[in-house]
Amino acid sequence: MNHTLMATGALPTAGGVDVPARLLGLVRETYLELNRQSARPVAVDLDTALDRDLGLDSLARVELLMRIERAFGRRLPEALLAQAQTPRDLLAALQLAPDQAAPLARAHSATQEAMHDPADRPVHATTLLEMLDWHVRRHPDRIQLVLLSDMGETPFTYTELLRGARTVAARLQQLGVTPQQTVAIMLPTCADYFFSYFGILLAGAVPVPIYPPTRLSQIEDHVRRHARILANARAQVLITVAEAMPVAHLLEALVPGLRGVITPQHATQGLAAWQPVPVLAGDIAFIQYTSGSTGDPKGVALTHANLLANIRAIGEVLQLTTDDVFVSWLPLYHDMGLIGAWLCSLYTGNRLVVMSPLAFLLRPQDWLWAIHRHHGTHTAAPNFGYELCLRHIREQDIDGLDLSSLRVAANGAEPVGPETVTRFTERFAAHGLQPQAMTPVYGLAESTVALLISRPENMPQVDFVDRVVFEREHRAQPAVYHDPHALRFISCGHPLPGHRVRLVDAAGVEVPDRIEGRLEFQGPSTMAGYYRRPDESRRLIHDGWLDSGDRAYRAEGEIYITGRVKDIIIRGGRNLYPHEIEQAVGELPGVRKGCVVAFGSADPISGTERLVLLAETRESGSQARARLREAVQRRVVDVLGEPADTVVLAPPHTVRKTSSGKLRRAATRELFERGDIGAHSRPVWRQFASLGWNAAALRGRQAASQAGHMAYAAWFWLVFALVAPPAWLAVALAPDPARAWARARVAARLLLRGAGLKLRVRGLEAVPLQAHIVVANHASDLDALMLLAALPAPHRFVAKRELLRNPAVRIFLQRLGTVFVERFDAQRSVADAHHLTELATRGVSLCVFPEGTFRPEPGLLGFHLGPFEAAVQARIAVVPATLQDTRKVLGDGERLPHHHPVQLDFDAPIRAAQAPVEPFTAAVALRDAARAAMSQRLGEKGEGAAVGATP
C-alpha cells in the first residue's frame, strides 16, 4: 500500500485500521493546523522530511509526538524529539514503544530512607572533591541520585558516583590532561554526565559544559557557536556520546588545541589507576558560558569556594535537609540544573531525582508524576516550564496526582510571569499544591547561580505599578485599584545570606525605595572573573560591586526585577520593557507563542529608538497577514497606549534563542538590521559541507603556519650557529668582564637582527650611571639575551649554580663576571646573598631575575627577597625591567622559536627608605614597589601578556 496523503484543506478520517496511515493522518493534521492559510497542497508520506518539507520545528514536534502518544497509547522514546527526521522514523519508534502506562506501574521504589541527622553535612569542606569524599566516608551506600529514563529508574550511590568519576579521571590523565586545563562535556542527561563532571575535577582539570546538538537543521550554527566557546576555553578534550561524534569531530577540526574527543564508554582495559592531584578552594571548578555567547563568548569562571558559598546559602534559605527529595528535569549544561539542583542536593545529602529535558518537553506531566511518586519536596524550572504544564497537561493525564509534599517550586532563570505563578497555583491547588510553594528566584552566572530568593514560607508578592510614572520617571508608584494598564512585577525576595545588593543610578549613587536602579551585588559567590577576558571582568566591577546588567527596585524590603539593561527600549523618553509586550502579542491566534521579540532599533532621523515588534507566524495569505499585523498593533496599543513603529511577521525559526530557550534579542535585532529576515536555512548536507570546507581550510592554514614556523626556526638556529661560535670565542678571550660584556652585546644584537627578532626598548635613559640592581621578570630562556642586547654598560648577571655543570656555558658566563648562587642549600644561599651585598657595595651593577623557574600559566608570581636586601644594605637603587612576549618567541621546554617582537621597559629607579626603617622592612617595601611596577606594565596588554615563574 502506498502510504501517501495530500495535505490540502480537508481533514481525513483518523480511524484507519492501518498504523502507518493513521500516523500519517496525525502528521498531516498537525501540519494543517500550523498552516491554516496555506493553499499549496503538500504530499505527506513516510519519507517526507518533518523539518525541510513540513517546517515542523521543536515546538511543533512536541505537539506531534504528544498526539501520537495519545492516539496509540504508547510512550515514545524521548530522544525521538531530536532524532526523528521523517514519519518513517516515527513509525519505527512507535512499533517498538512500550505501553504508555508501563513506566507509572514501576514504581514507588525510590522513597527516601530516614536519616539520623538531617542537619549533618560537610560544613568544613573547602572543595567539591572534599564534599564528595566526606559523603563517601560517612554513608557510601546511600543513594545520591535516581536517574529516570525510558528504561526505568536507576539509582546511584555516593560510592558509585566516585568510582565512575575516578575512571573518567584516569582516562583524562592517560590523555595527558594536566591540572587547570579545560575539558568540555557535551552529553545529554545521563549517568556519564555526573561521572564526567567529577572525573574532570579529580584530574585537577576544569569542566566546561556545552549543550549537545538538538536539530540537524541548525547544525552549522551549533558548531560555529561552540567552536568559538571551545577556542576561548582552550579545551583540551571533549567528552560526548557516540551519536554526536560527527559533530564532535567537526569541532575538533575547527578548534586549535582540541586534541581529543572521547566517549564515556571508551575501553578501560589497561587503564592506569587515577593519580590524586592537589585541588584548592581557589581553583576554578566550573566555567559557565553565558547562554547568549556568540561571536565573543564570555565564560564565567567559578572557583570551588564560589560554588560552596552559593550552595550553602541556597540550602539555608530553602531549608534543605537530608530527608528532602529534589526532582529536576533541568539540563545539566545549565547552572540552574548543575548547581541549583544537583550540587545543592549533593552537598546537603538529599536525594536528587533527575529526568531528561527532552522527556519533560514531550510529557510535562511526567515531571509532576515524579514529584508524586518520589514525594518530592523541592523542584525548579524557568517560567516557560510552568507554562508548558498549563498548556499541554490534560486533567486525565494527572488523575490522582498528589503534589502536597512539594514545599518549594522555584521559578527563575528567565523573567518570572506573575500570571504564570497565579494560574499554576490555581490549576494545581486541587492536586495538593500549596500556594506558598511557588518561589520566585533571581540569579545569574556571575553570582554562581542564585542571588535573590523568596522565603519559602511567604506567598509570592506581586506589585502593581503606575505605567506612565514608571516609564517616564523610573518611580514604582503603586497603581490605582484595578488599573488595566498597570505594570506588574513579582518579587524575587531577598539576597542570599552573606551577600549584598544595592540599586544605583547612572552616576553610581544608591537610589531610595521604589526608585528603579541598576542592580549591583557582592558576596562570596561572586565569580572569579570571565575566563581569559580580564578587560570584560574589569568593566563589570564598580567600587567592589559587580554590575548584574539588570534593573530593579526595592519595596518593603523586597527586590523586584524590572528587566535587562541591554533589552530596555528607550523611545521618546520612555523606558519600554519588551517582556510584557512579547507576552501579550504571543497570546494572539496565528502568532507562535514564545517566538515574539520586541527590540529597539536606532532611528538617526528622530534621534531615538524605533520600537520593532517581530513575531513568527505560519500565516501565508496576504489578507490573513494583514489582519494579523493589525491585531498585533492593537495588542501593542492595549499594552503601551501607542503602536509599534515596525511590525515584522517572520517565518518560523527566525527568532534567535539560547540553548535554554531564552530570547536572544540582540541577535534577532542584528538579523533584522542586516535585512536577513526570512532567509531560509540551508540544507543539512550543505551545512556539513560548509563546516567541512571551513575545517579543511583551517587545517590548511594551520599546516601553512606550522611550515612557516619550522622554516623560521631553522633560520633562527642557522643564524645562531653562525654567530654563537665566534661570539663564544671572543668572549672567552676577553681580558676583563667589561670587554667581554661589550663583545657579547654586539653578538646578541647581531643574532637578533639576523633572526629578524625586533626588540623594542623603552626607558633605557632611566637606568642610572651609578651602581644599581636591575630586577627583571623571567619567562623564557631568551630573557638574558634580551637584557644583554639592551644594556650598554656592563652588568653582572646573577645565575643559578646549576649552570656551572655545562663547560661551554660556564666559561661564557664566568668571563662575563656572572655571580652564581645556590638555590637549595640554605646555608650556602645565605652566604651568596652576602656576596651580592659586597659586590653592590663595591659599585658593581647587577642584573637579577628575582623569580624562579618557569611555569606554563601566565602571571607574575612572588619575588625572592635577596637582591632587594642587597640594594638596601648597599644603599643603591633598584631598576625594574619588564620583559613582554619572550615566552611567545620561545616558551618553556620549546626548542623551535617563533617570530614575534619583544618589548623591554625600564622604569625609574626605586630607592629604599632611609633610617629609622628596619632593613628587612625596607627590603620588603622595595620588592613590593618593583613588583607593582612590573605588574602594571604587564597589565597594559591584558592577561595574555602577563608572564611569570614559580617561586
Q: What domains can be seen in the chain, in order of their start residue?
A: 4-100 (1.10.1200.10), 128-453 (3.40.50.12780), 462-567 (2.30.38.10), 569-674 (3.30.300.30), 757-945 (3.40.1130.10)
Contact assessment for residue 863 and residue 820, using Cβ atoms and an 8 Å cutoff: no
Q: 928 Cβ partners below 8 Å, 6+ apart?
A: none
Q: What is the pLDDT of residue 9?
A: 41
Q: 101 Cβ partners below 8 Å, 6+ apart?
A: 73
3-state helix, strand, coil in the chain (%, to 5): 40, 20, 35
Contact assessment for residue 146 and residue 374, using Cβ atoms and an 8 Å cutoff: yes
Give CA separation, 571 vs 485, 518, 608, in Å: 18, 19, 6
Greater confidence, 452 or 863? 452
Is the pLDDT confidence value at 298 over 80?
yes
Q: Any idea what DSSP says for residue 364?
A: T
pLDDT digits (tens, 9 = 90+) for 683-706: 655 666 766 777 677 677 777 877
Q: In this structure, is the dihedral angle defined by the CA atoms of residues 576, 577, 578 and 580, taken in order, positive or negative?
A: negative
How far from chain centre, in Å, is Cα 99? 40
Is the pLDDT confidence value at 133 over 90?
yes
Provide mean pLDDT across the span 573-579: 73
Contact assessment for residue 786 and residue 904, using Cβ atoms and an 8 Å cutoff: yes
- β-partners of residue 854 are 949
Contact assessment for residue 592 and residue 618, using Cβ atoms and an 8 Å cutoff: yes
Contact assessment for residue 355 and residue 370, using Cβ atoms and an 8 Å cutoff: yes
Contact assessment for residue 457 and residue 436, using Cβ atoms and an 8 Å cutoff: yes
**Peptide bond before residue 858 is cis, with ω within 30 degrees of 0:** no
Mean pLDDT of the chain, nearest integer: 82
Provide mean pLDDT across the span 125-142: 94
Q: Where are the alpha helices (DSSP H) in 641-683?
A: 665-674
Residue 310: which pLDDT band, with cuts at 50, 70 and 90?
very high
Sequence letter at residue 681: S
Pick the range with the lowest mean pLDDT from 78-82, 91-95, 445-449, 715-719: 78-82
Strand ranges for 557-635 from DSSP E = 558-564, 569-571, 574-576, 591-603, 608-617
Give the strands of the sheet with 646-650, arranged side by side: 591-603, 608-617, 646-650
Is the pLDDT confidence value at 108 over 50?
no
pTM value > 0.85: no
Is the pLDDT confidence value at 330 over 60?
yes
pLDDT digits (tens, 9 = 90+) for 624-641: 888 888 888 888 887 777
Residue 371: which pLDDT band, with cuts at 50, 70 and 90?
very high
- Rounded to whole angstroms, the Cα distance separating 645 from 611 reads 5
Pick the range with the lowest mean pLDDT from 135-139, 499-503, 910-914: 910-914
Q: Where are the alpha helices (DSSP H) in 463-577?
A: 467-473, 534-540
CA-wise closest residue to 378 among 331, 342, 429, 419 = 342
pLDDT digits (tens, 9 = 90+) for 923-944: 888 888 888 888 888 864 433 3
